[in-house]
């Protein structure tokens, strides 16, 4: 049959990989959006021990800088945590609240968020290539009527690809500096950054920053 011939020629492999990538992207989306981004627990749980990252930074931050109590949920915030007004929780290593996933991006789901963006970018680039290969341009109204949906789909894919690419690049840059979107945008308002001798006391070099984040 035609299906068997296509399989023998390897023509079904690419569509199968594309479908698997789309499925992986959907699963990652639900995983990132539904998982705990790193909500700060009750104060008694917080005293159980300091995070490795916080203890490493303390020598470069004034010793009299105490943990701040959140004015909303009344828990003591560890360093780099912030209260999210949408989620109504303090989030460890808070990066931002993402409206696309309706969840915060924090200590626990930030690496998966980067993986999700990467897979999504591959899917969009592949989809854009497929849409472009199906377009053949003619200057006629009849051509536009038959190809309007494909043309609009291609333009939407291009827009989303640019957005995802810029978002991924910006996040990878911040990760390589061991800073977060919130710290980058609000550096002048964060006490542990204002009183630090270094501009970014968390930076340990690009390689170590990436290693600690992903591994």
Give the catalytic positions in this structure.
Answer: 98
Task: State the Cα–Cα distance between residues 75 and 43, nearest whole angstrom.
Answer: 6
User: Which residues are CB-contacts of 94 (< 8 A; sequence separation ≥ 6)?
Assistant: 38, 80, 81, 82, 84, 104, 106, 180, 182
Alpha-carbon span 102 to 32, nearest angstrom: 10
H helix and E strand count, the chain: 9, 6
Q: Which residue stretches of 58-138 are H helix?
A: 110-133
Dist CA 96 CA 182 (whole Å): 6
Burial class (CB in 10 A: 0-12, 13-18, 19+), 192: buried
Tokens encoding 60: 């470069």
Token pair 């943990």 is found at 67
The answer to whether residues 84 and 94 touch, using CB atoms and an 8 Å cutoff, is yes
The distance from CA 121 to its chain's CA centroid, rounded to whole angstroms, is 12
Q: How far apart are CA 66 and CA 68, in angstroms?
A: 6
């Amino acid at each position: 049959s035609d299906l068997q011939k296509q399989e023998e020629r390897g023509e079904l492999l690419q569509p199968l990989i594309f479908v698997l990538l789309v499925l992986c992207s959907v699963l990652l989306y639900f995983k990132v959006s539904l998982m705990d981004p790193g909500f700060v627990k009750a104060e008694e749980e917080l005293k159980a021990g300091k995070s490795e990252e916080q203890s490493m930074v303390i020598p470069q931050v004034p010793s009299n800088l105490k943990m701040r109590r959140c004015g909303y949920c009344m828990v003591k915030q560890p360093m780099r945590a912030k209260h999210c007004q949408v989620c109504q929780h303090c989030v460890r290593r808070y990066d931002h609240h993402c409206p696309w996933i309706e969840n915060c991006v924090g200590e626990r789901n930030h690496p998966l968020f980067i993986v999700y963006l990467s897979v999504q970018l591959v899917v969009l680039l592949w989809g854009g290539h497929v849409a472009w290969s199906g377009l053949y341009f003619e200057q006629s109204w009849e051509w536009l009527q038959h190809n309007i949906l494909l043309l609009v789909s291609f333009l939407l894919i291009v827009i989303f690809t640019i957005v995802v690419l810029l978002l991924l690049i910006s996040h990878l840059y911040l990760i390589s500096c061991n800073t977060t979107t919130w710290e980058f945008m609000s550096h002048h308002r964060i006490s542990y950054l204002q009183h630090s001798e270094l501009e970014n006391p968390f930076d340990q070099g690009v390689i170590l920053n990436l290693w600690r984040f992903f591994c």
